[in-house]
Amino acid sequence: EVQLLESGGGLVQPGGSLRLSCAASGFSFDNYAMSWVRQPPGKGLEWVSGLRSSGGSTYYADSVKGRFTISRDNSKNTLYLQMNGLRVEDTAIYFCAKDNVPGGGGNPYDSWGQGTLVTVSS
């Protein structure tokens, strides 16, 4: 059974940093592209960042480019999101999501974690 477990969320002041982790199990992690998608409380879904299976190519939404860094450690089956320069508008539940087929990305997401809440407030 595929499992994705996010951690690392919490309350942080504007300008602060957090590192999110997503521990994966139940599938060949190193064969799949992975993404982070966020959802502000009570609002819709926004793709944040994506990473190919090899980790060589990374992609970001304009709203986080230059502030967030996505990475993966295939030896630990873990996806990361380093978030610097956090803003109030980054407040959201952050989900990690797995592509539905192996490969380099450009696919829908067939498995999602339960999410971790990031709150940016003074």
Using CB under 8 A as the binding rule, the residues of this chain from 89 to 108 that contact another protein are 95, 100, 106-108
Q: Is 59 in the site for another protein (CB under 8 A)?
A: yes
Report residue 6 as tokens. Answer: 């996010």
Looking at beta carbons only, is 13 or 63 nearer to another protein? Answer: 63
Report residue 59 as tokens. Answer: 């992609």
What are 46-51's contacts with CB under 8 Å, separation 24+? 46/92, 48/81, 48/94, 49/81, 50/105, 51/79
CB of 33 to another protein, least distance (A): 11
Q: Is 53 in the site for another protein (CB under 8 A)?
A: no
Report residue 10 as tokens. Answer: 């919490």
* Choices 7-15, 20-28, 46-54, 75-83 (CB under 8 A): range interacting with another protein: 46-54
Q: Is 68 in the site for another protein (CB under 8 A)?
A: no
CB of 56 to another protein, least distance (A): 15
Q: How far apart are CA 72 and CA 105, in angstroms?
A: 14
Q: How far apart are CA 64 and CA 54, in angstroms?
A: 22
Q: Is 45 in the site for another protein (CB under 8 A)?
A: yes
CB of 76 to another protein, least distance (A): 22
Asked if 119 and 13 count as a contact pair (C-beta separation under 8 A), the reply is no
Looking at beta carbons only, is 84 or 107 nearer to another protein? Answer: 107
Q: Is 23 in the site for another protein (CB under 8 A)?
A: no
